Structures are given as C-alpha cells and as structure tokens.
C-alpha cells in the first residue's frame, strides 16, 4: 500500500485512521484492488492496538469500501471514485495562443497500437519484426555498464563523443558526408534538429522557404515560431530556385528523396540552390531522412558534399533505419551556427538521453547498423517492386507512380478523377490504411493521389491489401 498514515496524539485513534483511509479510497489515492496491510503489521507500524485497526477495517467493509478475501487479506473494493468537478476556467490572457495550438492538425500522426489497421501503408513506419533485438539488447547492456561507471553528471548537449564519432564515420561511408566529430550534434529525432536550427536563425523574424508540396510537420513547426513560411513550387528537377523570395533566411529541402513526391533533385538544381542561398546569406537545411535505402542508379551526392561556403546544415535520423520510437537524430552544422544551436539545445533539454546514445554508438561501431540496413534494403526493395508491378498492372486505370529511386514510400498520382477521401474511408472498413497527398500541399493547388509507405506492411500482405483497394476503385468508379 503506497499511502502514508499519520496518527497525532492518543485521542480518537480509530476516527483518525478511519478518516484517512476513507478519504484515500474516495479520492482514488487507494485504487480499487489495492491490498491493505494485515492488522497486526499496521498496528506495529502505527503504534496502536490491533483491535483499533480491525474495528476500522470492519467499519470500512460495512460501508462497502473494503472487501475481505479469506486467506488472502483485505482489499479496496472496486467502486467508482467520485469525480472532482472543477470550476470553469477564467478567460486567460493567452486564450488566442492556446486556440491556435489546439487548432493545429496532427498530420502524419501514427495510430496507437490498438487503433492500427491490419494492412498499413502509412509513411515513416518500419517493420517491428526487422529490428535486431538481440544485437540492440547486447549493446544496451554495455551502455548500462558505461553509465554505472560515470560520475552521475549531466552529459554534453552536443552528444556523447563516442556517438558523434560513430555518426561521422557512418555518414562518410554511406552518404559521402565528410565532417569532423565536432560538427555533429545529437538530437531527439530530426524534428528537434529543425526546431533548433529554425529557432536560432529566425528568433527575430524572417522568412523560411520550403518545398511545396513538402513535409507538413516542418511547415507547422516553422510557423509556430511566428515566422513567414513560403511554399516554393517544384518541377521534375526539384525546388524552383528562382522562386525563392528575397529576404529568405532559411531554406528547407529534401533533395535526395523529395518528400512526398519522391524524385531526387538534379545536380544542376542543387548547384543553383547553393548559389541562391549564398546570395541571400541563407542557411539550407538538407533533410536526408531515408536515402540509405537506394534501389536504382548511382547514389547521388549529398548537398552537403557540394557545399564549399558552409551554408548547408545536414539533418539525419535513425527513425527510418531503426525504429521511430528511439527518437534519435543528428545534425551536421556549419561553423557559423554550430555554437548557437548547441546553446539552444542545452536550454531546450540539456542533452539527449545518454543510455540510447551509448547503445547506438556501440551498435554502429560494431557494424550492426550497416548489417541491418543491408538486410532491410532487400526486403524494402521487394515491397517496392511489388507495389510498382501492381500499379503498372491492374491498378493502372487509376494510378501512376512518380519515379523514385530511394526510401520506403512512393507517391501514386491519379490518372482519372477519383474520390480519394471516399476511397480512404472504404479502405478502412476492410482494414487497409491509405493516405492522401492533398495535405502535403500548402499554397500550390493540391493534386489527387496516395502517399504509399511500405516500411510497415509485410511483403506477403501487399497483394491482399491492393486487391481490396482495386475492388473498391472498381466499385466507386
């Protein structure tokens, strides 16, 4: 029983005990099913007679607050607690601000486990069964030993030196990003990286330019800082650089695997973007969220590797390669903003949890991450290929896929007018999770289509799910 009883003086001992137990049960502090201490033990602890305890238990049992179980003990009875009715809140001076946050959509929010559909094409999710449990558990045990040997101090806001070194080595090999350990800052997922960089650069206002269509959580995050966010349209080569407005301080792009359409930014367009940013004095955020998984052609150079002026902040995440629940990401920062972002990170959360940092550092250093990526690559490639086969076959009257060579999502555009929202609702009824691309557009006219993630759906489930989608499309015309 996690409840402290206080007996004052020698008067009305039973009344004191009764009142405290009664109030604790009625308020829910002692939850239904909680076992009370035996009368002999509680009498010794409180220094009062056992009869006083027994009489109090009996009275509470009579009032149906306690129940005795033969041979087991005395338990709080299962009965609803009284609801505490709070007075209506006063009109707050910050009411308008609160309304703005409450009205903000929860775009791309993953469903709870009990609310997930059987066949999910949601983006940004990975197959739990692919996660290397044994290797991660072994590295976690080593991390616990490392922490037990420490002095119990807070860590560095920029991250553990061992993990920063491991990240620098990993991205040099996998993405051709050459950097020093000192340029790496570990963060809680890519979203925190976007928050910190934009906060530092636009504290006193300014304009942020980003792709349109683009990543809605980034757009909403930037706007929550009170800055002007401009959606810049795309063509087949990527963001249209000449439409980035004057006065822009920050440019957010996904050049390796455009989110959500999927095409890579051409080399010529990348150079034009670097030139435009230099002329503006702007920083570019290169969000390289899932390009470890490449299926066709030669890997494209990162924008960071082309940067000779120190204007690209490279952001990566382990949510796509490992698990979203880990919330581990990183940023490679140019010298001009490095110290400012580190200080903002320290003010935000002091540092990212060191237990997963130690675990990931060893996981990368021992080659487990690359081994895991290679294993997932073949599985995701098979899923991607199967979806493309179906799109080019019996789904071809309705959809066409935008060419995409990386990641584990693709976009299907409608070839004929289709009621996408109706399709999504009917698909839910047969346990298929589909998602529209309409919400990715901001100022540009939204196109009809589906955002198809294939990280979470099992390979053998793809045909079952797409058969149901095809049948619904045939039904609604």
Which tens digit of pLDDT belongs to each residue from 284-306?
999 998 888 888 766 677 999 99
> 């505490």: which residue's tokens?
84
> 């806001």: which residue's tokens?
157
User: What pLDDT digit, counting tens, does each position of 144-181 carry?
Assistant: 999 888 887 888 999 999 999 999 999 998 888 999 99
Judge whether 293 lies within some domain. yes
The domain boundary, picked from 342, 366, 390, lies at 366
Instruction: For the chain, give the percent of residues with pLDDT over 90.
Output: 64
Confidence of residue 417 (pLDDT cuts 50, 70, 90): very high
Regarding whether 204 and 241 lie in a shared domain, the answer is: yes
Of 228, 234, 233, 265, which Cα lies nearest the Cα of 247?
A: 228
Confidence of residue 82 (pLDDT cuts 50, 70, 90): low
Regarding whether 281 and 249 lie in a shared domain, the answer is: yes
Of 274, 303, 437, 456, which Cα lies nearest the Cα of 383?
A: 456
- The confidence score (pLDDT) of residue 372 equals 94
Judge whether 91 lies within some domain. no
Regarding whether 118 and 65 lie in a shared domain, the answer is: no
Residue pair 292/174 in contact (Cβ under 8 Å)? The answer is: yes
Confidence of residue 24 (pLDDT cuts 50, 70, 90): confident
Beta bridge partners of 253: 286
- The confidence score (pLDDT) of residue 115 equals 59
Element (H, E) at 451: strand 449-453
Regarding whether 291 and 173 lie in a shared domain, the answer is: yes
Confidence of residue 2 (pLDDT cuts 50, 70, 90): low
| Statement: residue 54 has pLDDT above 60 | yes
Average pLDDT for 366-374: 94
Regarding whether 250 and 348 lie in a shared domain, the answer is: yes
Regarding whether 306 and 205 lie in a shared domain, the answer is: yes
Q: How many CB atoms lie within 10 A of CB 13?
A: 18
How would you class 292 by CB atoms within 10 Å of its CB: exposed for 0-12, middle for 13-18, buried for 19 or more? Answer: buried
Q: How many CB atoms lie within 10 A of CB 34?
A: 16
Beta bridge partners of 409: 453
CA distance 77 to 68: 9
Regarding whether 53 and 177 lie in a shared domain, the answer is: no
Domain of 246: which CATH number? 3.40.640.10
Of 188, 194, 201, which Cα lies nearest the Cα of 351?
A: 188
Of 95, 118, 134, which Cα lies nearest the Cα of 457?
A: 118
Residue pair 154/351 in contact (Cβ under 8 Å)? The answer is: yes
| Statement: residue 79 has pLDDT above 70 | no
Average pLDDT for 19-26: 88
Beta strands 283-287 and 73-76 are unpaired
Residue pair 77/31 in contact (Cβ under 8 Å)? The answer is: no
* Coil vs helix vs strand at 169: helix
Regarding whether 430 and 307 lie in a shared domain, the answer is: no
Judge whether 456 lies within some domain. yes
- The confidence score (pLDDT) of residue 87 equals 65
Judge whether 187 lies within some domain. yes
Q: Cα Rg for the chain, rounded, in angstroms?
A: 29
The domain boundary, picked from 366, 400, 418, lies at 366
Average pLDDT of the chain? 91
- The confidence score (pLDDT) of residue 101 equals 86
How would you class 385 by CB atoms within 10 Å of its CB: exposed for 0-12, middle for 13-18, buried for 19 or more? Answer: middle
Residue pair 388/401 in contact (Cβ under 8 Å)? The answer is: yes
DSSP state letters, 67-99 = EEETTTEEEE---PPPP-PPPPPPPPTTHHHHH
Confidence of residue 86 (pLDDT cuts 50, 70, 90): low
| Statement: residue 80 has pLDDT above 60 | no
| Statement: residue 110 has pLDDT above 80 | no
Q: Most confidently modeled of 7-16, 52-61, 237-246?
A: 237-246
Confidence of residue 103 (pLDDT cuts 50, 70, 90): confident
Regarding whether 243 and 285 lie in a shared domain, the answer is: yes
Q: Is the alpha carbon torsion for 154, 217, 251, 272 positive or negative?
A: positive
Judge whether 108 lies within some domain. no
| Statement: residue 85 has pLDDT above 70 | no
Residue pair 440/262 in contact (Cβ under 8 Å)? The answer is: no
325: tokens are: 């629940």
- The confidence score (pLDDT) of residue 379 equals 93
CA distance 443 to 234: 12
CA distance 406 to 238: 15
Name the residue range of residue 414's domain.
113-126+371-476
37 vs 152, higher pLDDT: 37
How many domains does the chain divide into?
A: 3
Question: How many H-runs (helices) and E-runs (strands) does the chain carry?
Answer: 15, 16
Regarding whether 314 and 197 lie in a shared domain, the answer is: yes
| Statement: residue 127 has pLDDT above 90 | no
Confidence of residue 464 (pLDDT cuts 50, 70, 90): very high
| Statement: residue 420 has pLDDT above 80 | yes
Average pLDDT for 345-353: 95
Write the DSSP symbol of residue 436.
B
CA distance 317 to 326: 10
Orientation of helix 189-201 relative to helix 216-224, angle to 10° = 40
374 vs 111, higher pLDDT: 374
Judge whether 180 lies within some domain. yes
| Statement: residue 1 has pLDDT above 70 | no
CA distance 215 to 230: 13
User: What pLDDT digit, counting tens, does each position of 253-273 carry?
Assistant: 999 999 999 999 999 999 999
The domain boundary, picked from 347, 366, 385, lies at 366
| Statement: residue 84 has pLDDT above 80 | no
Domain of 48: which CATH number? 1.10.10.10
Regarding whether 278 and 199 lie in a shared domain, the answer is: yes
Domain of 400: which CATH number? 3.90.1150.10
Regarding whether 157 and 256 lie in a shared domain, the answer is: yes
Confidence of residue 277 (pLDDT cuts 50, 70, 90): very high
Judge whether 350 lies within some domain. yes
- The confidence score (pLDDT) of residue 161 equals 96
Judge whether 342 lies within some domain. yes
């Amino acid at each position: 029983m996690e409840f402290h009883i206080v007996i004052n003086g020698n008067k009305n001992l039973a009344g004191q005990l009764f009142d405290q137990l009664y109030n604790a049960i009625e308020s829910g502090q002692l939850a239904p099913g909680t076992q009370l201490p035996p009368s002999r033990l509680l009498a010794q602890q409180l220094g009062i007679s056992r009869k006083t305890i027994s009489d109090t238990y009996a009275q509470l049992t009579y009032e149906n607050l306690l129940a005795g179980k033969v041979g087991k003990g005395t338990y709080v009875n299962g009965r609803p607690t009284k609801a505490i009715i709070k007075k209506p809140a006063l009109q707050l001076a910050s009411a308008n601000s609160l309304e703005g946050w409450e009205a903000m959509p929860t775009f791309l929010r993953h469903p709870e486990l009990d609310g997930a559909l059987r066949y999910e094409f949601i983006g940004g999710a990975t197959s739990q069964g692919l996660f290397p449990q044994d290797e991660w558990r072994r590295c976690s045990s080593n991390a616990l030993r490392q922490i037990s040997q420490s002095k119990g101090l807070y860590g560095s806001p920029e991250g553990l030196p061992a993990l920063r070194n491991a990240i620098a080595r990993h991205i040099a090999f996998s993405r051709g990003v050459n950097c020093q350990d000192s340029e790496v800052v570990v963060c809680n997922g890519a979203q925190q990286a976007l928050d910190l960089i934009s906060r530092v650069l636009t504290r006193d206002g300014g304009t942020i330019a980003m792709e349109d269509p683009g990543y809605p959580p980034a757009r909403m995050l930037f706007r929550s800082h009170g800055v002007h966010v401009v959606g810049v349209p795309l063509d087949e080569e990527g963001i249209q650089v000449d439409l980035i407005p004057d006065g822009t301080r920050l440019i957010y792009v996904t050049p390796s695997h455009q989110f959500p359409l999927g095409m890579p930014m051409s080399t010529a367009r990348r150079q034009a973007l670097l030139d435009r940013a230099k002329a503006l004095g702007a920083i570019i955020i290169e969000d390289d969220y899932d390009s470890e998984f490449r299926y066709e052609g030669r890997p494209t150079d990162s924008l960071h590797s082309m940067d000779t002026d120190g204007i690209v902040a490279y952001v990566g995440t382990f949510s796509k390669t490992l698990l979203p629940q880990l919330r581990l990401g990183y940023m490679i920062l140019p010298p001009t903003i490095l110290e400012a972002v580190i200080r903002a990170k320290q003010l935000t959360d002091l540092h990212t949890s060191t237990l997963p940092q130690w675990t990931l550092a060893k996981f990368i250093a021992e080659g487990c991450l690359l081994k895991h990526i290679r294993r997932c690559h073949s599985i995701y490639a098979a899923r991607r290929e199967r979806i493309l086969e179906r799109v080019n076959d019996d789904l071809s009257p309705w959809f066409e896929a935008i060419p995409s060579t990386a990641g584990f999502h693709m976009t299907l555009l409608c070839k004929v007018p289709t009621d996408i929202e109706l399709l999504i609702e009917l698909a839910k009824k047969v346990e298929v999770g589909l998602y529209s691309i309409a919400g990715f557009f901001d100022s540009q006219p939204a196109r009809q289509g589906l955002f198809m993630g294939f990280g979470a759906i099992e390979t053998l489930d793809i045909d079952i799910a797409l058969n149901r989608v095809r049948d619904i499309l045939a039904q609604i015309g």
